[in-house]
Amino acid sequence: MSAAKTLLLVAQPLEAGVPHHVRDLMPAALADGWRVEVACPPASVLWSAAGTHPDVARHPIPAARAPSPSDARSLARLVPLVQRADVVHAHSSKAGLLARTAARLTNKVDRCVFTPHGWSFWAYPVFLPVERIAARWARTIVAVSAYERDAALDAGVGRRDQFAVIPNGVDLQRFLPSPVPHDPNDRLVMVARLAPPRRHDVVLRALAQLPDTVTLDLVGDGPRRAELEALAAQLGITDRVTFAGERPTTEIAGHVSGAACVVHASEYEGASLGVLEAMACGRPVVASAIGGMDELVVTGGGTDATGELCDHDPAAWAAATTKVLTGNRRHALGAAARKRAEQRFSLDTMRSGTLALYQRVLTEREDPSQLRPHLGR
């Protein structure tokens, strides 16, 4: 890139996977010669991460996730930022809608990229018509899994040639493999916010059906903590569950490496960064059989198997966890998980795919007639 071009990154969530994903993109974009600007709430971990890069300009937007009067302020702030940017990449539903609206208002649709990180209409079907319209206001929609792309096309959101599938990437240097523990007490770990769409309740009910030697660490915090603590007490497993709370990013790898197995239960999912982090640490995974999870976790009896997928029946979860922990299977699953993370889900692979997309958006013109709505696959 001969002269610095401006990349505007827009994200609304305060914590968890989305701001970490954008945080991991920033250094690669700077190294590739982009002038990077970030629009996000000041309370976001992304705001703090952007502050460690002196050359990154930060612009505050409100943190409200639901429709709010503050959205008008966000849009007013985003319009001039989008107007002067060479490429805009919006992440998550709220930021995605606002940034795409700004792109539509400033005739920058052909320079706008959107990554949903899980479709809004999965949680709130009322937003489906909105996503169908807003899909016209982005040049490219990045799905983190083939499932996420296909779910959109099946719902009439976007055109097939509008999508790029770029899986999440994990930092293989931060999340290093280590031997899977095989102690008398087997520790399960789930790293996720204590809020929808996560299903910590399923994991707790499964734990109650496992031997007393199996314990559970829940890493993360959120509005469901009191409810989940009450459920643990009701199930009689309070002494086997540790609510570790929100932990710094630098501590997550240590928590995961202490696990005999990582569990991840969720109502819906595009592709879980937490599962990839577990795989990078060489940990077997038991996860919900939903979304793009089968693109991450390999099941079955083959040498490439990395874990188990199951529905939300607690008995099925208990059986799947027992299967993973039986004998030496955990070691083979963990080794295969690390190998799969290295081969398919490295941070370098995600970054290079995203930067290549930015270059195409910047240099390849798109026929405006192709930005019309098109339903189905």
Give the max Cα distance, the chain: 64
Percent of the chain past pLDDT 70, that is, above it, reads 94
Question: Span 21-32, mean pLDDT?
Answer: 94
Identify the architecture of domain 186-344 in CATH: 3-Layer(aba) Sandwich (3.40)
| Residue (of 170, 116, 125, 174) closest to 143 by Cα position | 116
Classify the phi-psi angles of 245: left when phi > 0, otherwise alpha if psi is within -120 to 50, otherwise beta: left
pLDDT tens digits, 242-286? 999 888 777 888 889 889 999 999 998 878 888 999 999 999 999
pLDDT score of 70: 82
25 pLDDT higher than 90: yes
User: For the segment 358-373, what is each residue's pLDDT rounded down to a tens digit?
Assistant: 999 998 865 544 444 3
H or E element in which residue 269 lies: none
- What are the residue ranges of CATH 3.40.50.2000 in the chain? 5-169+346-369, 186-344
| 265 vs 167: CA distance, rounded Å | 19
* CA atoms of 347 and 73, how far apart (whole Å): 34
In whole angstroms, give the CA distance from residue 153 to residue 155: 5
Closest to 278 measured CA to CA, from 304, 300, 297: 297
**Superfamily of the domain at 5-169+346-369:** Glycogen Phosphorylase B; (3.40.50.2000)
| pLDDT, tens digit (0-9, with 9 covering 90-100), for 194-214 | 998 899 999 999 999 999 999
Is the N-terminal amide bond of 27 cis, ω within 30° of 0? no
pLDDT at 301: 87
- Measured CA angle at 165 (ends 37, 120), to 5 deg: 70
C-alpha angle 297-311-241 in degrees, rounded to nearest 5: 85
C-beta atoms surrounding 364 within 10 Å: 9
CA dist 154 and 109 (Å) reads: 23
